[in-house]
Amino acid sequence: MLGVLPGLTGIVFLVAAIWSLIAMVIAVRQALDYRSIWRAIGVCMIGWLVQALILALTIRAAAV
């Protein structure tokens, strides 16, 4: 809802991305039964970076 306001789009996107990453870490830790949260963070950061790269490439391709 706040993402449609011109000045808040970037901030809302950043907050949503971080919130998504935190939720993903918790879910991976529970699903894969990791004892260490750092291992779950490592797994999620790899996936999150791949997702961010694909999103950036998609946005760049759409802007052309």
Interacting residues of 2 by C-beta distance below 8 A, sequence separation 6+: 8, 12
Which amino acid, one-letter code, is at 48?
W
Give CA–CA dist 23/41, Å, rounded.
11
What pTM did the predictor assign? 0.66
Instruction: Report in angstroms the alpha-carbon separations of 33 from 4, 50, 62.
Output: 38, 23, 39
DSSP at 35: S
pLDDT digits (tens, 9 = 90+) for 36-61: 999 999 999 898 889 889 999 999 99
Q: Between 55 and 2, name the one with better pLDDT.
A: 55
**pLDDT for res 2:** 61
Q: Are 21 and 44 in contact (CB under 8 A)?
A: yes
